[in-house]
Copies of this chain bind each other. A is one copy, B any other.
Amino acid sequence: MTRYDNLASIIGDRIEQGLYTCGQRLPSVRALSLEHEVSISTVQQAYRVLEERRLIEARPKSGYFVSQHHEPAALPAMCRPAQRPVDISQWDLVLKLLRADPVDGMVHLGPGMPDISSPTLRPLNKELSRIALHPDLRGMTYGDISGAPALREQIARLLVDSGCLALPEDIMITTGCHEALSIAIHALCQAGDIVAVDSPSFHGVTQTLKAFGIKALEIPTDPVTGISLEALELALEQWPIKAIQVTPNCNNPLGYIMPDAHKHALLCLAARYDTPIIEDDVYGDLAYRYPRPHTIKSFDDDGRVLLCSSFSKTLAPGLRVGWIVPGRYMEKVIHMKYIGTGATALQPQLAVAEFVRQGHYQKHLRRMRARYQLNCDIMTDWVKSYFPPETRVSRPQGGFLMWIELPDRFDSLRLNRQLEKMAIQIAVGPIFSASGKYRHCLRLTYATQLTDEIEAAVKKIGETIKRQLAEVAT
């Protein structure tokens, strides 16, 4: 990260936190240069970055000001789930999202699909192509049950960025983060057990709990700091919770990054109740701020955290290359891997290993982080402009997903049916709850280039919502 990027992110944070408010004049270039001990041109470049992000505006002869339209939208409320373990439903809705007929010209704001068109991915395609023709036929055998050693070595190196020290032999490769999560749950729990989850939460996890006959206990979750530790502690006291599953970094769908102090406190709480933590970090490398945030795993010194992740959101999901760092549960985890898929497709593993080794991964990440952050600002603006004023919007700290909350009387399923006819796809709220909550919420993806067509689609969504609210009010 360059100096000016760093400075831009510091000032950006101050604006987001309300230290400088809408329309307020920002410190002069000179003042900032003195305060941060950087050159005048560094400050100028930082201000230009913030202008591009539409956070600030330059006024000739007067200096820089916080954008007029940068009044942050209200945040979604803390959820108040029923405080008891529930059986999981909603599979029909998840399947509908997965299956959505790819109508011609469909605008996809539903699935968690990254932008795969970046030129920084090209070396990966070349590597895949090269390996396929390699005369030693590497990639055609089963390979090591734990996954290609070359890849595990590179992942061990990447883990250092999140503060996590792991050896290649502490890592097992999986068929995407899905398999990592499924293995983790299966290794720890049996039918009838209870798992505590943040709420809203990723449907891949809740559906896995459903498949294994495990109950979910949805814990209230703050849209900025993550799972409520107070509520979790109460739950741990009250119920025999077998595991805690959270996505603390660039949460899907809320976008928050749990503060380090909270991560540490969560780990201590888990230790006190001797409960393992299943940590999903699949969006962690896409945090907008640099260096990237810590994982809970990075604080874990007794092997109670099972870290699950993949290259699906950072590179491409079709590779199906993920991993798990299961701490003290490695033995069980290998058994689950063997019986689940036997091995992970080998050529994609080898290609990714080489891509990372040659430094292409970090370069690609830098580009995607900047792109997604810019898109986040644009999408936030659009939602503020086109959605009704009662709309509450998440403030994503990474990734490419936005959570939107509307008044209780709003029905996202009804919205979805209407949008389908307009060839617009969104993700409806209830799939993010084990018990069908969040019917008044929806999630939008902003990974691809935000064209006029997408703006028009967001506008249509806003209008359709307004119409619905007006109808229901009368």
Return 28 A-B CB contacts under 8 Å, by A number. Answer: A95-B335, A98-B145, A98-B338, A117-B137, A126-B132, A129-B132, A132-B132, A140-B317, A141-B318, A143-B318, A175-B175, A176-B341, A176-B343, A178-B342, A179-B340, A186-B211, A204-B339, A204-B342, A207-B335, A208-B339, A211-B335, A211-B336, A318-B345, A319-B345, A320-B341, A320-B346, A347-B347, A347-B348
Take A137-B117, A142-B111 as given contacts and tell me if A339 and B211 are in contact as well, using a CB distance cutoff of 8 Å.
yes
Contact of A178 among B128, B334, B341 (CB under 8 A): B341
Give Cα distance in the complex from A182 to B186, angstroms.
Answer: 13
- Considering the complex, give the chain B residue whose CB is closest to the CB of A144: B99
Judge whether A116 is part of the interface by a CB distance below 8 angstroms: yes
- Which positions 112-137 of chain A face chain B at CB distance < 8 Å? 113, 116-117, 125-126, 128-130, 132-133, 137
CB distance from A344 to the nearest CB of B (A): 7
Contacts of A139 in B (CB 8 A): 318
Judge whether A191 is part of the interface by a CB distance below 8 angstroms: yes
Instruction: Let me know if B339 and A182 touch, CB within 8 A.
Output: yes
Contacts of A343 in B (CB 8 A): 176, 178, 317-318, 320
Judge whether A91 is part of the interface by a CB distance below 8 angstroms: yes
Contacts of A116 in B (CB 8 A): 137, 140-141
Chain A interface, >50% SS class: helix
Instruction: Let me know if A342 and B191 touch, CB within 8 A.
Output: no
- Which positions 346-360 of chain A face chain B at CB distance < 8 Å? 346-348, 351
- Considering the complex, give the chain B residue whose CB is closest to the CB of A208: B339
Contacts of A142 in B (CB 8 A): 111, 113, 317-318
Judge whether A418 is part of the interface by a CB distance below 8 angstroms: no
CB distance from A242 to the nearest CB of B (A): 15
- A residues bordering B, Cβ < 8 Å? 91, 94-95, 98-99, 111, 113, 116-117, 125-126, 128-130, 132-133, 137, 139-145, 175-176, 178-179, 182, 186, 190-191, 204, 207-208, 210-211, 213, 316-320, 334-336, 338-348, 351
Going nearest first, the 10 A-B pairs with the smallest beta carbon separation are A178-B342, A128-B132, A140-B316, A345-B345, A129-B132, A318-B346, A175-B341, A208-B339, A320-B345, A140-B318
Instruction: Let me know if A318 and B340 touch, CB within 8 A.
Output: no
Give Cα distance in the complex from A116 to B128, angstroms.
Answer: 19
Contacts of A125 in B (CB 8 A): 132-133, 137
Instruction: Let me know if B137 and A126 touch, CB within 8 A.
Output: no
- Considering the complex, give the chain B residue whose CB is closest to the CB of A95: B334
Instruction: Let me know if B176 and A339 touch, CB within 8 A.
Output: no
Give Cα distance in the complex from A316 to B143, angstroms.
Answer: 11
Instruction: Let me know if A129 and B137 touch, CB within 8 A.
Output: no
- Considering the complex, give the chain B residue whose CB is closest to the CB of A112: B142
- Considering the complex, give the chain B residue whose CB is closest to the CB of A332: B211
- Considering the complex, give the chain B residue whose CB is closest to the CB of A91: B335
Contacts of A133 in B (CB 8 A): 125-126, 129
> Given A113-B141, A320-B342, list of 17 further CB < 8 A pairs?
A99-B145, A126-B133, A128-B128, A128-B132, A129-B132, A132-B351, A140-B316, A141-B317, A175-B342, A179-B340, A204-B342, A207-B338, A318-B345, A318-B347, A320-B343, A320-B346, A345-B348
Instruction: Let me know if B94 and A338 touch, CB within 8 A.
Output: yes
CB distance from A460 to the nearest CB of B (A): 25
CB distance from A133 to the nearest CB of B (A): 5
Contacts of A176 in B (CB 8 A): 341-343
CB distance from A334 to the nearest CB of B (A): 7
Instruction: Let me know if A320 and B344 touch, CB within 8 A.
Output: yes
Give Cα distance in the complex from A132 to B125, angstroms.
Answer: 5
Give Cα distance in the complex from A47 to B71, angstroms.
Answer: 89
- Considering the complex, give the chain B residue whose CB is closest to the CB of A207: B339
Give Cα distance in the complex from A179 to B130, angstroms.
Answer: 28
Give Cα distance in the complex from A320 to B319, angstroms.
Answer: 12
Give Cα distance in the complex from A336 to B190, angstroms.
Answer: 16
Give Cα distance in the complex from A144 to B178, angstroms.
Answer: 15
CB distance from A316 to the nearest CB of B (A): 4
Give Cα distance in the complex from A71 to B142, angstroms.
Answer: 37
CB distance from A248 to the nearest CB of B (A): 21
Give Cα distance in the complex from A145 to B77, angstroms.
Answer: 33
Contacts of A175 in B (CB 8 A): 175, 320, 341-342, 344-345
Give Cα distance in the complex from A347 to B317, angstroms.
Answer: 11
- Best-buried of A113, A133, A317, A345 by chain B (most CB within 10 Å): A345
